[in-house]
Amino acid sequence: MEGGNNYFKEKLIFTSEKSSEQVPLFNLHKFLIKLFRFNSNVESQLVILTPLTLLSEETLSYLKEGPLLELENCRRIGIRISSETIIKQIPLNELQPHSRILRSKLKKSGFPATHPLEGSMGYLINLDKLLAGNEGRR
Amino acid sequence: MNNDEILKQIESNDKVEKDIEVKEELFYRYLVFWIGEQKFALPAEEVHEILTYNEIYFVPFVPPYIRGYANRHGQPYTVFDLQMLFENSGIEGSHLLILKVPNDQIALLISDVDEIVKVPDSKIYSLTSQDETSQYFSGAVNVEETEIFVLGVSKILERLESDIERS
Amino acid sequence: MKRKKSSVGLITSLSIWTTLPVILVLLIMGGTTLWVLGNRVNMLVEDNAAHTMRMMERIVKTEVDGAVKNYLRAAAEKNRDLMSFFYQEAQKGEISEDAAYERIREILLDPEYGQVGSTSYLAGVTTEGILEIHPVSPGVDASDFEFMQKAMEMKNGYLEYEWKNVGEEEARLKAGYLSYFEPWDIMVWASSYKSEFYSLIDQRSLDDQVSTIRIDETGYVVIRNSEGKIIAGDDTLKILNKVPADRAAHAVVDSKIGQVRIDTKIQEETGWQVSVVSPLSPYNRLLWMLRIIIGLSIVVSAVLLHFVIRYLLNRTLAPLKSMRGLAERVSQGDLTGRIHNLSEDEIGEVGVIFNHILTEFSGVLGNNKSVIQVLSESIQNLSTSAQEIASTSNEQAAAVKEILSTMEDADQVSKDNMEKIEEVAKIANNTKENVEQGFELIKTSLSKMEEIRTTNSETIVGIKTLGERITSIWEIVNIINSIADQTKIIAFNAELEAAAAGDAGKNFQIVAGEIRRLADSTVNSTNEIKGKINEIQHASDKLIVASEEGTRRITEGWDISTNIRGIFEEVLNSSEISAHSADEISRSTKMQVSSFEQIFTTLKQISESIDSFVESTNYTNQVSDHLTEITESFGKEIDGYTVEEEKEE
């Protein structure tokens, strides 16, 4: 699935006296709902803003050819995430690598590790890889 | 009977047990279990543990016969649904077989455990043909006149590797 | 309606099938005639043309020969006369005979004067065949030649012969005229190649002859010379140039008067082309007219024949038509029709028979109808009187029955009264104590009922509690079961560990095996328990249903008893009646009853006899009904047919 364009349907526009900035939004919330086949209609109310400089060359060039194509003066990208978000410190020893046989595939797709807890399974996301839509590329 | 005879009887009983003990060494243990309506077997050495149903967590980008992860002792285990692999229809599954696969965490989703049997060498067969259906079996055992296929775990893992590589 | 079509169709098809062979024959005849005629016409025209051609050839030859002969004759005789003149002179003594001979010889041999035609010359030949006077070969003996021998014989006259000069390939026709002068025995010979004289022909004379020739009024003849120029006749239709050279012998071409036939022959001698133009159009027209006439006559005769036959067939088959119509009417029930206008032939006979059949049948039906009429009426009468009797008897019976029942009621009432009064008297004679006794009994049974009810509800409550207890046992059993399952798994795991531990784990293995067996037996036991509990559950369910049913009955019984109690209370209240009045009523009632009994018995007898009478009239009714049915149905069938007598009504 071409993760990129389907989920880049919105953008924020900031205007000020001096300039206007267009920030494309990636709907990670919808993306994850679709990917994990959750049965949920809940919309996301939360957006994280990230400067483009934090993205890798590869991802940037991919985005510039796609969703970022006609955007002028674009310094940041927005990520829509679930409203039920918490910020937490996790010690590294709580993170586990994926089962070896699945490891490379999941890493390439942007899920480098798991966070298994009593009664739940967490997935670590590498946003850079995810945005690049590597999982859909052959 | 007099005392001597009684004593001899007792001693011979002990011998019989010893003989049986010797014979036992030529037997092999197999775990027999159900996946759906079908019985399968695995050598007991290949199974680490049997767990009663754990929750299975969905994993994306994997083939449909990988139901997801089970969380065992804080580690993610890849769960195989073999009925999905063989017949394209999944089972409800209430138990997990935790397999002893070196350097990885692999589990099998099964319907129920049947028993652990001791099978003599004579009743263990290896496969004569390798067709579509039997590519995942390493052989068969004869238990009470029924033939039960023995799963070949390495072959199943190979299948998963090639599917992942292609995707 | 279908039938009508078939009779018309029959006539049409018959007339068509009879006409067809005739037409066929006519066509064959007509065709043959036309073909033969056509051929004959062709032959006629051909013959005509050939005849004309022969005639033309003769004319040409005559003309040609005539012209040549005349010319040569003139030349020969003229010179013979000249020879004679000179001989005369010699005889007169003017000159010597030799000189005279010499003079004429010079003249004859003169190259200019002596020229005959363009290449030949005069000559003098003796009767011995010697060329006495000859410019080329004088003195030569030509008597060997055949023509010379002929000439020697003829001495005078015209002859033709073939002559080939030395060095020439072919012989050519020569013509010559001889004129004999006896005194000197010289035949003056004027000859030349015949072809040189063709131009001498009097073209005008030839033309006159040729122009007058007419073939069938518009045909003509034309003669052209070897160069194609017309020398006689006139190509009025201007068609000669239409005929290509290779078809010169005979061709058919179109012209302004229609088709014409051109026969051309090349005259051997002169090389002239004689063309005979014969018109074909009159013959063509004739042939076409004939074709049309024959065709028309065939068509007309076919149509005429067809209609004549049709008419004849119609007339012949008319009686069949009317017979068919009549038959249809009969099938629909109308027997009044008859066939009229019967012919004297077989068809007429059939008609006669048909009429006869209808008459007979009508007669039979007519008889039947009148019989049925009579029968029907009698049955009707019978039925009516039977019904009247029946109804009268019924009324009587009913009346009697009413009296009876009233009497019965009265009787019964009296009896009842009597009994009741007696009873009441008895009861009244006994005292209130009896009633009270009964009342006590009721009260006792009612309270027993109450107890039963109470016990019953308690039982039901107990059963329900049992049900709840069973459910909780169920839950416990399930818990035990799940523990057993888990234990089994634990045992399996223990065995696995033991297997992995190898020898060291052997004892542990045994223990694990035992635990598993224990778990298995636990599971088995719990299954047994489950089974038993199921049974108990079923039994208790049934019990609840039965008890509820029982409860219902008990409630009903309770209600009834309560009612009885109420009634009895009333009875108790009104049981105070004097014995005396009860006795009196009792006595008079007895008397009433006995007199009733007598009347009653008599009435019963009457009723019985009426009943049996009614029965028999009912039976008669049934029979006559049945007869009526039969008669009606028969009548209906017959009614379907109309017969002459009915028309009078």
Closest approach of chain A CAs to the CA of B90, in angstroms? 17
Q: What is the pLDDT of residue B110?
A: 95
Residue of C189, C160, C206 lying closest to C56 (CA atoms): C206
Beta strands C131-133; A10-15: pairing state: unpaired
Give the integer Cα–Cα distance in Å for C383 and B102.
Answer: 116
Question: Is C188 within 8 Å of C176 (Cβ atoms)?
Answer: no
Give the integer Cα–Cα distance in Å for A123 and A96.
Answer: 10
Put simply, the answer to whether B55 touches A119 (Cβ < 8 Å) is yes
Question: Is A124 within 8 Å of A100 (Cβ atoms)?
Answer: no
Largest Cα–Cα distance in chain B? 80
Asked if A138 is an interface residue toward chain B (Cβ–Cβ < 8 A), one would say no
Of chain C, the percentage scoring pLDDT greater than 90 comes to 2
Q: What is the pLDDT of residue B16?
A: 56
Q: What is the pLDDT of residue C580?
A: 53
Strands (E), C359-437: none
Asked if A128 is an interface residue toward chain B (Cβ–Cβ < 8 A), one would say no
Which chains share 3+ C-beta pairs under 8 angstroms with B?
A, C
Structure confidence by residue, pLDDT tens digits, C30-72? 889 889 988 998 898 889 888 988 988 888 888 888 888 888 8
SS3 category, C473 = helix
Is the pLDDT reported for residue C236 higher than 60? Answer: yes
The DSSP secondary structure of C141-167, one letter per residue, reads: B-TTSHHHHHHHHHSSEEEEEEE--TT
The DSSP call for residue C198 is G
Q: Which two tokens stand for residue C484?
A: 């057993």
Q: What is the pLDDT of residue C577?
A: 53
Q: Which of C487, C496, C497 to mutate to test the interface with B (most CBs of B within 10 A)?
A: C496
Average confidence (pLDDT) over A111-120:
91
Asked if B164 is an interface residue toward chain C (Cβ–Cβ < 8 A), one would say no
Give the integer Cα–Cα distance in Å for C23 and C238.
Answer: 46
Structure confidence by residue, pLDDT tens digits, C67-96? 888 888 988 898 889 888 888 888 888 888
Q: What is the pLDDT of residue B157?
A: 94
The DSSP secondary structure of B66-117, one letter per residue, reads: EEEEEEETTEEEEEE-HHHHHHS------EEEEE--TTS-EEEEESEEEEEE
Q: Which two tokens stand for residue C439?
A: 């009342």
Q: Which two tokens stand for residue A82?
A: 């679930």
Structure confidence by residue, pLDDT tens digits, C117-171? 777 888 888 888 888 888 888 888 888 888 888 888 888 988 888 888 888 888 8
Contact list, B44 vs chain C (CB under 8 Å): 495-496, 499-500
Average pLDDT, chain C: 80
Q: Distance from CA of residue B32 to its chain's centroid? A: 6
Is the pLDDT reported for residue C428 higher than 70? Answer: no
Residue of C113, C108, C122, C118 lying closest to C72 (CA atoms): C122
> Residue C489 corresponds to which amino acid?
I
Contact list, B74 vs chain A (CB under 8 Å): 96, 116
Of chain C, the percentage scoring pLDDT greater than 70 comes to 91
Residues of chain B by 3-state class (helix, strand, coil), percent to 5: 30, 45, 30
Q: What is the pLDDT of residue C388?
A: 77
Tell which wins on pLDDT, A78 or C202: A78
Structure confidence by residue, pLDDT tens digits, B66-87? 999 999 999 999 999 999 999 8
Give the integer Cα–Cα distance in Å for C161 and A89.
Answer: 157
Put simply, the answer to whether A106 touches B167 (Cβ < 8 Å) is no
B27 bridge partner residues: B120
Of chain B, the percentage scoring pLDDT greater than 70 comes to 86
Q: Which two tokens stand for residue B146?
A: 């029924």
Of the CA atoms within 13 Å of residue B17, those in its CB half-sphere come to: 5
Average confidence (pLDDT) over C288-312:
88
Q: Which two tokens stand for residue B114?
A: 């049947």
Of chain A, the percentage scoring pLDDT greater than 90 comes to 27
Tell which wins on pLDDT, C426 or B16: C426
Tell which wins on pLDDT, C235 or B148: B148
Q: What is the pLDDT of residue A71?
A: 66
For residue C308, give every residue at least 6 positions away whose Cβ sits within 8 Å of its Cβ, in sequence order, or none: none
Q: What is the pLDDT of residue C432?
A: 60
Average pLDDT, chain B: 86
Put simply, the answer to whether B75 touches A135 (Cβ < 8 Å) is no
Tell which wins on pLDDT, B14 or C299: C299
- Tokens 């310094």 sit at which residue? A75
Question: Is C500 within 8 Å of B45 (Cβ atoms)?
Answer: yes
B93 dihedral zone (left: phi>0; alpha: psi -120 to 50; beta): left
> Residue C368 corresponds to which amino acid?
N
Q: Which two tokens stand for residue C68?
A: 């040549």
Query: What number of H helices and E strands is found in chain C?
Result: 10, 11
Put simply, the answer to whether C493 touches B29 (Cβ < 8 Å) is no
Give the integer Cα–Cα distance in Å for C328 and C479.
Answer: 98
In whole angstroms, how far apart are CA C171 and each of C68, C193, C268, C629? Answer: 19, 10, 14, 133
Residue of C644, C86, A114 lying closest to B70 (CA atoms): A114
Q: What is the pLDDT of residue B15?
A: 59
Is the pLDDT reported for residue C28 higher than 90? Answer: yes
Query: Out of 3.40.30.10, 1.10.1270.20, 3.90.850.10, 2.40.50.180, which CATH number does the structure's domain B3-166 have?
Result: 2.40.50.180
Average confidence (pLDDT) over A59-70:
76
For residue C383, give every residue at least 6 positions away whose Cβ sits within 8 Å of its Cβ, in sequence order, or none: C621, C624, C625, C628
Is the pLDDT reported for residue C646 higher than 70? Answer: no
For residue C385, give every residue at least 6 positions away whose Cβ sits within 8 Å of its Cβ, in sequence order, or none: none
Q: Which of A36, A116, A135 sits opposite B76 (nearest CB)?
A: A116
The DSSP secondary structure of A29-64, one letter per residue, reads: HHHHHHHHT----PPP-EEEEEEGGGS-HHHHHHHH
Closest approach of chain B CAs to the CA of C543, in angstroms? 39
Q: Which of C486, C495, C499 sits opposite B52 (nearest CB)?
A: C486
Q: Which of A104-113, C116-125, C502-511 has the lowest mean pLDDT?
A: C502-511
Question: Is A73 within 8 Å of A21 (Cβ atoms)?
Answer: yes
Contact list, B46 vs chain C (CB under 8 Å): none
The complex's ipTM works out to 0.81
Q: How many residues in total does chain A contain?
A: 138
Tell which wins on pLDDT, C200 or C89: C89
Question: Is B96 within 8 Å of B109 (Cβ atoms)?
Answer: yes
Is the pLDDT reported for residue C649 higher than 50? Answer: no
Q: What is the pLDDT of residue A135?
A: 42
Is the pLDDT reported for residue B53 higher than 80? Answer: no
Structure confidence by residue, pLDDT tens digits, C429-450? 665 666 677 777 777 877 887 8
Put simply, the answer to whether B69 touches A35 (Cβ < 8 Å) is no
Q: Which of C28-32, C200-204, C564-568, C597-601 has the highest mean pLDDT?
A: C28-32
Extents of the domains making up chain B: 3-166
Average confidence (pLDDT) over C585-604:
72
Q: Which of C485, C489, C496 sits opposite B48 (nearest CB)?
A: C496
Structure confidence by residue, pLDDT tens digits, B103-157? 999 999 999 999 999 898 888 888 766 666 678 898 999 999 899 999 999 999 9
Give the integer Cα–Cα distance in Å for C345 and C317.
Answer: 11
Question: Is A55 within 8 Å of A77 (Cβ atoms)?
Answer: yes
Closest approach of chain B CAs to the CA of C517, in angstroms? 11
Average confidence (pLDDT) over B12-38:
72
Asked if A96 is an interface residue toward chain B (Cβ–Cβ < 8 A), one would say yes
